[in-house]
Amino acid sequence: MKKRILGNGLEVSAIGLGCMSLSGAYGAALSMEDAGRMLRGAYDRGVTFFDTAEMYGPFLGEKQVGEAFKGMRDKVVIATKFGFKIEEGNPNGQGFDSRPSHIREVCEASLRRLQTDHIDLFYQHRPDPEVPVEEVAGTVRDLIAEGKVGHFGMSEVDVATIRRAHAVCLVTALQSEYSLWTRDVEAEILPLLKELGIGFVPFSPLGRGFLTGQVTPETIPEGDWRTNMARFKGEAFDRNRALVAALEAVAARKGCSTGQLAIAWVLAQGEDFVPIPGTRKLERLEENIAAAELELSAADLAEIDAAFPKGAVVGGRYFE
């Protein structure tokens, strides 16, 4: 697969693999064996960039990645994240914790679960309103100096926070949701990333599967958190599905799937954009990564924007 450079020199495959779904976000978690087959299958097909977090599972996602790449650590780029308070018996909704001491604790625990001596890209998963970002960035800067971390990343933060953090420790990548149906970052965030030379790692480039045209309320499995998302329910679903139908017509003319068109659109937005679509099936992964070879002309991009206008999606990003 083609490679891209994030920020100050982190080389990754043009499309990475978001690993959240392997550990149970969309239905039951995969076994270690099945997750390993999926992860190594992705590597065999050219993916070198794998995105996980202590929150995924929690902890299971890192264990899956660590076990899958044991003995071949130097061949892959692993990103993981800190920033949540994960309490025993209460894996969700427990609040934030980016205190320097906690960042170090998470780093050591993540290294053990990943079975490695370094984390290539260490993200602050979400900002902590109780901890100045300068302290966060300074702690990661020290971990980089110690060789435990390669690069500093941030996720879902605003312009001012990025500037403050970058002044202390160079931010290599920002991870935020971005796709044809979620374009909030275009107004202020993306111009700032270009100004500062920070790479962009869009998660959910397929709109949590919606942009493939294969997701319906009936196909979402029990326990899948999308059942509570406004965009997937009732009239909102019907109106959003009409947008995807228009996109399907463009994809048919290009001779590709709607999902491939959606990923190729993200890739076309910037040379340092590296989307990380998630999947649990190798056939879907093969479809996703083929988007890296799909060339879109200016006319193609204009046609996509006409079919799927900015701001046309009904419903918020998360829950009602």
In terms of residue numbers, what domain contains 209? 3-219+258-295
| 56 in active site | yes
Structure token pair of residue 18? 């978001």
DSSP-assigned states of every residue in 67-102: HHTTT-GGG-EEEEEE-B--BTTB-SS--B---HHH
Q: How many whole angstroms separate alpha carbon 102 and alpha carbon 188? A: 31
Residue 71 lies in a domain: yes
Nearest by Cα to 20 from 258, 283, 268, 208: 208
163 phi and psi angles, rounded to 5 deg: -60, -45
Catalytic residue among 26, 43, 56, 178: 56
H/E element, 234: helix 234-254
Which residues share a beta bridge with 149? 119
Amino acid at 189: I
Report yes or no on 17 lying in a domain.
yes
Q: Tell me, what's the pLDDT at 267?
A: 98
- Structural domain count of the chain: 1
Q: For residue 312, is it within any domain?
A: no
Please report how the helices 100-114 and 133-145 are oriented relative to each other, as an axis angle in degrees rounded to 10. Answer: 40
Residues of the chain with pLDDT under 70: 88-93, 319-320
Q: Is 311 exposed, middle or buried (0-12, 13-18, 19+ CB in 10 A)?
A: exposed
Largest CA distance in the chain: 54
Q: Give a yes or no: residue 186 inside a domain.
A: yes
Q: Answer whether residue 262 is part of any domain.
A: yes
pLDDT value, residue 226: 82
The bridge status of strand 119-124 relative to strand 149-155 is parallel
Residue owning tokens 């990645």: 65
User: Looking at the DSSP assignment, which residues form a beta bridge with residue 278?
Assistant: 18
pLDDT of residue 304: 98
Q: What is the pLDDT of residue 212?
A: 95
DSSP string over 155-183: ES--HHHHHHHHHHS-EEEEEEE-BTTB-
Domain of 127, CATH number, reads 3.20.20.100
Q: Is residue 106 part of a domain?
A: yes
**How much is the pLDDT for 230?**
86
In tens, the pLDDT along 39-93 reads: 999 999 999 999 999 999 999 999 999 999 999 999 999 999 999 999 765 655 5
Structure token pair of residue 89: 């018996």
Residue 224, pLDDT score: 78
- Whole-angstrom distance, CA of residue 109 vs CA of residue 137: 19
**Is 129 a domain residue?**
yes
- Report if residue 22 sits inside a domain: yes
